[in-house]
Chains A and B, each alone.
Chain A
Amino acid sequence: GNSVTQMEGPVTLSEEAFLTINCTYTATGYPSLFWYVQYPGEGLQLLLKATKADDKGSNKGFEATYRKETTSFHLEKGSVQVSDSAVYFCALSDRRGSTLGRLYFGRGTQLTVWP
């Protein structure tokens, strides 16, 4: 089946620190991979995505590379800001017909950045 495993949080960092949030997946087809971010009191926003192996998604200084050999899609940022404090969800979408339209989410990782 399809599933996503994220590193357990919460993650607490000082401003300008390096961030890594690990994400690994299991999929029976050829998934697309996503990182969504949820700020307090809001819905989810797409942060970045990758649709095939070796693709790199990037946005707002965040990056993640689709690694088929390690079934991973780790999120990284070189220098975090206080405004990056949020919950980050790794997700996959399977393009097989029976599961089209369904996103499989990881449990989410709470990031808190201190000034």
Chain B
Amino acid sequence: DTEVTQTPKHLVMGMTNKKSLKCEQHMGHRAMYWYKQKAKKPPELMFVYSYEKLSINESVPSRFSPECPNSSLLNLHLHALQPEDSALYLCASSQEPGQGNEKLFFGSGTQLSVL
């Protein structure tokens, strides 16, 4: 199994809603990532988890709350989002964090629309 699975694939939410994005991998990877990608732009790093601990937070607003319940799962909890948060949210994983040359495996993403 060399896949990173993200659910849901599409999500529409209002600014007062609370929702969660889910990501799962069964490759035994110990680093997991959340990226945000706006249309026709490169992905922007949001968070990095290394051995289930948050190691990088790229000054992301608190309305985005990551969680890593175990080594296979990564969640992104959303609350009180703004329309400008509409984007493709990509999860990724890599085998051994911190090597600097590791291959990232990306999921297909969750296309989020905030109304």
Contact = CB atoms under 8 A, between A and B. Distances in A.
Contact of B97 (A44, A45, A95, A101): A101
23 contacts: A36-B104, A42-B108, A43-B6, A43-B90, A43-B107, A44-B90, A44-B92, A45-B106, A46-B103, A46-B104, A49-B101, A89-B42, A89-B43, A93-B102, A94-B100, A100-B97, A101-B48, A101-B55, A101-B56, A101-B94, A102-B48, A103-B43, A108-B41
Q: Is the interface of A mostly helix, strand, loop or mixed?
A: loop
Given A43-B108, A43-B109, A101 B98 contact: yes
Contact of B31 (A95, A96, A101): A101
Interface in B58-97: 90, 92, 94, 97
A51 interface: yes
Contacts of A41: 108
Interface residues of A, number: 25
Nearest to A92: B100
Nearest to B33: A101
Nearest to A29: B100
Interface of B: 4, 6, 31, 33, 40-43, 45, 48, 50, 55-56, 90, 92, 94, 97-109
A49 B4 contact: no
A10 B55 CA distance: 36
Contact of A43 (B45, B100, B101, B106): B106
A77 interface: no
Interface string A76-88: 0000000000000
A95 B100 contact: yes
Which of B4, B43, B108, B109 is the most central at the interface, judged by chain A CB atoms within 10 Å of its CB?
Answer: B43
B106 A32 contact: no
Which of B4, B33, B45, B100 is the most central at the interface, judged by chain A CB atoms within 10 Å of its CB?
Answer: B100
A108 B42 contact: yes
Contacts of A51: 101
